[in-house]
Amino acid sequence: MSDLWQHGEGGGEPSGSPHLRQLQASQGRSDGEVVIDCGVLEHDVDCVCDVIITEPTPVRYGVDDHWVLSMVAKHLDIDMYSPENFGLLLEKCDEFLAVYLDEKKNHPPSIFYKKVREKAESIVIEHQGGVLPSEVRDALGLDDAEFLECMTYGKPKGMTVERMDKIVKMRQSGMSHYKMCNILGIKNKNKQMGLAGWLSRIFVDPYVKVEE
């Protein structure tokens, strides 16, 4: 391209003219840079009017790591990877969360707590017991209050995430459930009952040999 054309002198066309832009677009160039566009003058560089879709693109919505979506899908037996079902799944998730987050509810549904506990248990199994309650809380994406409410079935009085971690650490060190309860002043020493018993059964017993 001559200097006369480039600078618009001597009757040549200016560099920013529509005809030049159209020529550059048709050749996939813009000021020396390679661009990919549809080649239509009136369309911007991001236009995709020339794209031909021959088949649907499979989309995984990233729900594998989203505990609420996967929990609700499993509970309602919904295929969470189906585009046709995804709107319904989101709607049901909204219903679950609306109930859970409504502080005016005195007794949120125990089924929600149960499902969160089940998810917590699956995380412990995935890590072969090498995880603390606080780490499970983080994996679930909950804050302390939400986590404690689910783990205690809505009765978190006197319990903290730090205390849950301490219970598990003491048991993982080889201490018996009974001795741990005595040291921490836990009245209900029955391993089949209460949060302390659940922590022992889920986080420790399958993975640590302890002389009871």
Q: Are residues 63 and 44 in the same domain?
A: no
Q: Would you give the DSSP letter of residue 169?
A: H
Q: Are residues 83 and 158 in the same domain?
A: no
pLDDT confidence of residue 21: 53
Q: What is the pTM of this model?
A: 0.51
pLDDT confidence of residue 111: 76
Q: Are residues 94 and 126 in the same domain?
A: no
d(CA 186, CA 96): 33
The 10 Å Cβ neighbour count of residue 66 is: 15
pLDDT confidence of residue 3: 45
Q: Are residues 27 and 73 in the same domain?
A: no
- Considering 52, 74, 95, which residue would you say is the last residue of a domain? 52
pLDDT confidence of residue 60: 54
Q: Would you give the DSSP letter of residue 56?
A: P
How many structural domains are present in the chain?
3
Q: Are residues 129 and 78 in the same domain?
A: no
Tens-place pLDDT, residues 174-206: 999 999 999 999 988 899 889 999 999 999 999
Domain that holds residue 131: 110-212
Q: Assess contact for 4 and 10: CB atoms under 8 A.
A: yes
pLDDT in tens, the chain (212 residues): 444 444 444 444 444 455 545 545 544 444 555 566 777 777 887 788 878 778 766 655 455 557 777 778 877 888 877 778 888 888 888 877 776 666 445 555 677 788 889 999 999 999 999 999 999 999 988 899 989 988 998 888 889 999 999 999 999 999 999 999 999 999 888 998 899 999 999 999 999 887 66
Q: Are residues 152 and 186 in the same domain?
A: yes
- Considering 106, 138, 169, which residue would you say is the last residue of a domain? 106
